[in-house]
Structure 1
Amino acid sequence: MADEEVAEQGELAITRTGDKLRLAREAAGLSLADVASRTRITQRHLEAIEKSDFSELPGRTYVTGFARAYARAVDLPEAEIGAAVRRELEEDEYAARPAYEAYEPTDPARLPTARLAWTLAIVAALLVSAYGVWRFLSVEPDDALIAAQNRDADASEAPATVADDAATKPAPGPVAADAPVVLTGLSEVWIGFDDATGKTENWRTLDPGETYEVPPAYIEQFTLRTSIPQAIKVTVGGRDVGQIGPADTLVKNISLKPADLLARAEGNDSAGAPAATPAR
């Protein structure tokens, strides 16, 4: 009887999704480094997921997607893990809301009209913000939200204009067709690699100053996507190809082939500004 009570208390102690992921990883004999290799997610972000400390992640937009990738790596049902993480996000957001206390002034001299108006405005703004965050976090980042971002990216595509002084710029030196493609984080930035169907198979984050040389297999099979184009530097054989899209806009279908990136670099040089049209 005592053993059953201890077992029951142990089960009740596992109240967070991160605990379930950690126990599944340990049961599979995997280390955090093994999961990081499978998911392309940094170890410190995986540790934050295991602790259910979502504030340590680069942005709550990707919390559910990271948790689902972790679940796939340890053979847990990703849909259930995603739903559980969303519930925890909603609970954390609700707990952070300020308690509202009704106040009825009896003496107008003690609470001027202007002060009451400001109080009501602040309370209304907090309620609207909380509702907006709840609506934002209730959408799955790897289906409806990403689909909406894709539509925004397609709608924002426009040809680059040619600058008047393009002819005065010196022609860059030749770059080998098999030159290495290197991604450098200018600030913390999320990047993903899409297959031919547009599905994001792999993703990772780059810390400020971190470099990542794209494997040859990725160059041939995948295209690049990111939601913070200004936070990533792309070079081919050491040559900067310029910003790959408008700031704070989801860009996708960025070809990683050196020839395509060099063509993009030449277009950026002639336009004098980053091209807004991702490579197809």
Structure 2
Amino acid sequence: MNGASREALASARESFDALADNTAADAEKLAQDLAAVTALLDREVSLRRVLTDPAQAGEAKAQLAARLLSGQVGEECAELVAGVVRSRWSSSRDLVDALEELAATAELVAAQRAGALDDVEDELFRFGRIVSSDSALRAALTDKVAARAAKAQLLHSLLGGKAHPVTERLVVRLVTAPRGRSLEAGLTALSKLAAERRDRMVAVVTSAVPLSDVQKQRLGDALAGLYGRRVHLNLDVDPEVLGGVQVRIGDEVINGTIADRLAEAGRRMAG
């Protein structure tokens, strides 16, 4: 991707992260819905061209997407796609590529929530090695004449009960809808997404007043230094904390608020 599409993809990823990190959205359902929208736009060339037409206002395209998807997919997916098409894309294919990536990422979020992301990453890698060493299997999975259902059945027989369901769904989608990519390239892309997701930490930051850009940068840098990896900040404002900042990463809480200090002082006095 280049130009406008790079910026649009970055915005789409941010919107997805906000949805996945801040709500109880069903990640598996979101993945299924996004995959369905990807398939629709991959099939309907005229529709995706309309949704990426630079001559049309972004809001008009968003409203069109919302109308088309209403009742067909979940509300979270419909709102996310509407926001994605509101951006400017360099080509219609870039839009579909972005939605496909978000669908795969939603599957990885489901695995992460289940504590199985490491397993999925490892299984994707090992499946890639198996395919590269078995020419007959690769030929069967990449046969352009073979029916999609037959390929899916073959994969279910190979992976069903042996790999995590997320791994199985990701591989089945890749094989049955390669969209012009080689099997190896698709598996590499999925492995990269899994690695990026595994290395990404999310911190819920609560402060009495909104943090400035400088404060956010400093906090992000400090947390990255503390944990040795990039940390995404989800910001919340709660006047009841009185001052300072509370940071929650998983089950760990770092408290630096005035309210917390007062509560601690009260406990000491009571003791």
TM-score scaled by length of structure 2 = 0.23
More strand by share: 1
More helix by share: 2
Q: Which has the larger radius of gyration?
A: 1
